[in-house]
């Protein structure tokens, strides 16, 4: 017979033992919001804080514990906000400080915690500190890694380090000094041996903790300290060595003193605030150092993300990850996608096969001991968008190794980017003129950070800042009913941040309006599903479901066609297209991906396309106008609205899995329930190509083979990513599938 999943009641968001004791992060499911691509509230085609707030009920109903927000600080947006010009202000592109405050309080009201990004390895070149450094202010350069060049005239970079985005990691300024940037030239690295850097980031963390955030995801947590003397590496293609070999600019022992100091700061606040390391290390043991009891709470497990669809490789990564973190008393984290990698539906082969494997991998991930991270849209089964038109691309790695061409008649540039393989020229002032003060190279007409709409680096369809609509509290684009049923989390102490605008208590957002009364997740009954063809584009599979048809992605259109499509087409909407980046002087080359260049592939835009909420055509409820990256025309069937209530959909599979994860005592926290294994997990013998493990009262089977496999039933099936046939004694596992069992 084909098994039908068993319905379970929704467990409390705080029912697990570790959560009850306060260590909520040990088994938390944390949802990453890539802010630009989540929800747009003001019609400029770019996601913002109010948009996120309006869609929080979707996350509450999905069943996650926390939301992680990518940077929303004042920034020229040279690298999607990871180039910060003011760490204490919200970029007008995304809202203002009051919007951030309201979002945090609304999330807490729904039982969701909020984690925000902090970017400590580097600032923007528009940060006041770096502007002062270029202007020659005494002592200003000591906060960054400025060095004299090599060679008789200092015309060679100080060492052979390469940027992660490709090309040299050094750029020369007008007086001949070079500064280090492990990422884009617009992102100069800070010198963490300088006491002002340490003090500044302590202050920044306190600012946001006072506002009420529950923790920080620390960008490049492995990069703040460089080896003494900045030694050469002696080989190229250095980006390919990250996480595989020791490097003098990453994973230096000195970073751990920084994280210990931050742990003390976090522990000084009520509410169990956490630090999460985005850290690449050569081994699981090195990664575990970041989560020792006196350091950070979590570290991303990128080995699991990069693991191929191979059962032996998966088991090895799982065992080594659990062993390393268990040794230091920390939880393991699991992640399949994020804003920097190809979505796992596509990584696993794309089409019907990629979707089947992605669904199975998600169930595997959610059944492992520890904490899981979901990337926005993966609950919809979104594939990578691989055919974006070049003119819409935003990823700086797409134009890696180039800088904007300096227009004729412009002030003398103070920054000279080296051409690969050639010594750079030194900038010389025009005869009888004085060099311009301050930063000599302006990528955008950037105002002082936080000073009004003109500080907005990418202002949308019009050159002026659009007037933000003022929705009533608790209203917006959300359609999720019953969102207020989650218990409220305790917010931290009353914020004291200067300049914040706190609405009165009676302005708290309430439950979102019922827009169609989507049903609560039903695990057992077979629903009729949608009848419109587009609603069938991404059918998920429950244990009772038939085969899912392959999603049909229509060919990419011609890109943006209307004014609203110009939401983020350059430094300003009235300034024309974004300038091509140059490696030196001369005319700008044609836009290209430069596949021969070393470093990242420059295709990160494909995983950042705004997600679909509802409607038959783009922008699928993302906002009232277009979207900053074009959405595929076949995404209507992948939207939240199209998948809600469809028992075969990927969205309902995720909702059911998260519901069961809360309800079943053997899932969630490491060591839950009685077991001689401190991880609460035990591998059992299984056929080739199949993984089988148990946790207290629970079993998980993963069939990675392209054909069905029969084996003794390990229990009663409760959820499967594909139809499972069982007579109670034996089971026939479908290919590329995962099944959960109770016993």
Give the residue numbers annotated as catalytic, written as ranges.
219, 278
716-720/737-742 β-pairing: antiparallel
Three-state SS at 138: coil
Q: Kindly state the tokens that stand for 294.
A: 């006196």
In three-state form (DSSP H/G/I as H, E/B as E, the rest C), the secondary structure along 140-169 is: HHHHECEECCECCCCCECCCCCECCCCCEC
Helix (H) or strand (E) holding 700: strand 698-703
User: What residues contact 543, with CB distance under 8 A and at least 6 apart?
Assistant: 2, 3, 4, 5, 717, 718, 719, 720, 723, 724, 739
- C-alpha span between 231 and 159 (Å, rounded): 7
Q: Kindly state the tokens that stand for 331.
A: 């939880």
Count of CB atoms situated within 10 Å of the CB of 419: 18
Three-state SS at 51: helix
- C-alpha span between 280 and 241 (Å, rounded): 10
DSSP string, 270-317: SS--EEEE----SSHHHHHGGGSTTS-SEE--HHHHT--S-HHHHHHH
Three-state SS at 32: strand
User: What residues contact 259, with CB distance under 8 A and at least 6 apart?
Assistant: 218, 221, 275, 277, 290, 295, 296
User: What residues contact 498, with CB distance under 8 A and at least 6 apart?
Assistant: none
Q: Kindly state the tokens that stand for 633.
A: 């025309």
716-720/709-712 β-pairing: unpaired
Instruction: For Cα atoms 647, 649, 654, give the angle at the middle one, nearest 5 degrees.
Output: 95
- C-alpha span between 691 and 625 (Å, rounded): 46
């Amino acid at each position: 017979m084909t098994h039908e999943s068993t319905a379970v009641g929704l467990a409390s968001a705080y029912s697990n033992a570790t959560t009850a004791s306060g260590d909520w992060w040990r088994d938390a499911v944390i949802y990453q919001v890539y802010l630009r691509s989540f929800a747009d509230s003001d019609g400029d085609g770019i996601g913002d804080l109010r948009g996120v707030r309006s869609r929080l009920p979707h996350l509450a109903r999905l069943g996650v514990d926390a939301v992680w927000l990518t940077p929303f600080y004042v920034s020229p947006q040279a690298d999607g906000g990871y180039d910060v010009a003011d760490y204490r202000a919200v970029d007008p592109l995304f809202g203002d400080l009051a919007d951030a405050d309201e979002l945090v309080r609304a999330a807490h009201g729904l039982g969701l915690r909020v984690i925000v990004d902090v970017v400590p390895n580097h600032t923007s070149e528009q940060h006041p500190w770096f502007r002062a450094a270029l202007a020659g202010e005494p002592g200003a350069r000591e906060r960054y890694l400025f060095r004299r060049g090599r060679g008789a005239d200092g015309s060679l970079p100080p060492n052979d380090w390469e940027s992660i985005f490709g090309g040299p990691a050094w750029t020369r300024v007008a007086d001949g000094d070079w500064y280090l940037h492990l990422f884009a030239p617009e992102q100069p690295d800070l010198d963490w041996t300088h006491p002002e850097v340490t003090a500044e980031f302590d202050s920044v963390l306190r600012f946001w903790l006072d506002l009420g955030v529950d923790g920080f995801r620390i960008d490049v947590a492995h990069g703040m300290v460089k080896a003494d003397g900045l030694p050469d590496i002696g080989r190229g293609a250095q980006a390919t060595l990250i996480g595989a070999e020791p490097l003098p600019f990453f994973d230096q022992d000195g970073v751990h003193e920084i994280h210990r100091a931050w742990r003390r700061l976090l522990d000084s606040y009520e509410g169990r605030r956490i630090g999460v390391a985005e850290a690449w290390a050569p081994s699981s043991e090195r990664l575990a150092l970041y989560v020792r009891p006196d350091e950070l709470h979590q570290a991303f497990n990128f080995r699991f993300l990069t693991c191929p669809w191979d059962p032996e490789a998966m088991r090895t990564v799982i065992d080594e990850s659990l062993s390393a973190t268990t040794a230091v008393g920390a939880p393991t984290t699991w992640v399949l996608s994020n804003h920097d990698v190809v979505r796992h539906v596509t990584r696993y082969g794309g089409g019907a096969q990629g979707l089947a494997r992605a669904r199975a991998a998600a169930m595997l991930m959610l059944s492992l001991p520890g904490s899981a991270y979901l990337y926005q849209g993966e609950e919809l089964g979104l594939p990578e968008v691989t055919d974006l038109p070049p003119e819409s691309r935003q990823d700086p790695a797409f134009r890696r190794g180039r800088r904007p061409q300096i227009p004729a008649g412009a002030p003398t540039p103070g920054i000279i980017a080296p051409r690969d393989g050639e010594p750079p020229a030194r900038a010389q002032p025009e005869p009888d003129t004085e060099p311009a003060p301050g930063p000599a190279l302006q990528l955008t007409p950037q105002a002082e950070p936080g000073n009004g709409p003109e500080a907005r680096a990418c202002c949308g369809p019009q050159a002026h800042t659009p007037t933000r609509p003022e929705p009533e509290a608790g209203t917006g684009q959300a359609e999720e009913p019953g969102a207020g049923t989650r218990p409220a989390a305790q917010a931290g102490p009353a914020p004291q941040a200067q300049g914040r605008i706190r609405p009165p208590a009676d302005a708290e957002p309430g439950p979102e309006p019922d827009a169609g009364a989507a049903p609560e997740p039903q695990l057992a009954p077979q629903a009729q599903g949608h009848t419109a063809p587009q609603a069938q584009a991404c059918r998920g599979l429950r244990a009772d479901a038939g085969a899912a048809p392959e999603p049909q992605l229509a060919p990419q259109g011609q890109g943006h066609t209307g004014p609203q499509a110009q939401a983020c087409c350059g430094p300003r909407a009235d300034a024309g297209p974004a300038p091509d980046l140059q490696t030196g002087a001369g005319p700008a080359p044609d836009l290209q991906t430069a596949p021969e260049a070393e470093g990242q592939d420059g295709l990160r835009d494909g995983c950042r396309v705004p997600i679909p909420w509802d409607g038959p055509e783009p922008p699928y409820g993302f906002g009232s106008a277009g979207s900053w990256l074009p959405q595929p025309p076949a995404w209507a069937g992948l939207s939240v609205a199209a998948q809600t209530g469809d028992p075969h959909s990927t969205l309902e599979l995720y909702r059911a899995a998260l519901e069961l994860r809360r309800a079943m005592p053997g899932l969630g926290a490491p060591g839950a329930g009685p077991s001689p294994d401190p991880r609460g997990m035990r591998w059992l013998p299984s056929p080739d190509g199949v993984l089988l493990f148990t946790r207290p009262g629970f079993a998980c089977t993963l069939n990675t083979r392209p054909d069905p496999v029969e084996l003794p039933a390990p229990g009663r099936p409760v959820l499967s990513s594909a139809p499972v046939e069982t007579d109670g004694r034996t089971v026939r596992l479908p290919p590329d599938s995962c099944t959960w069992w109770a016993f």
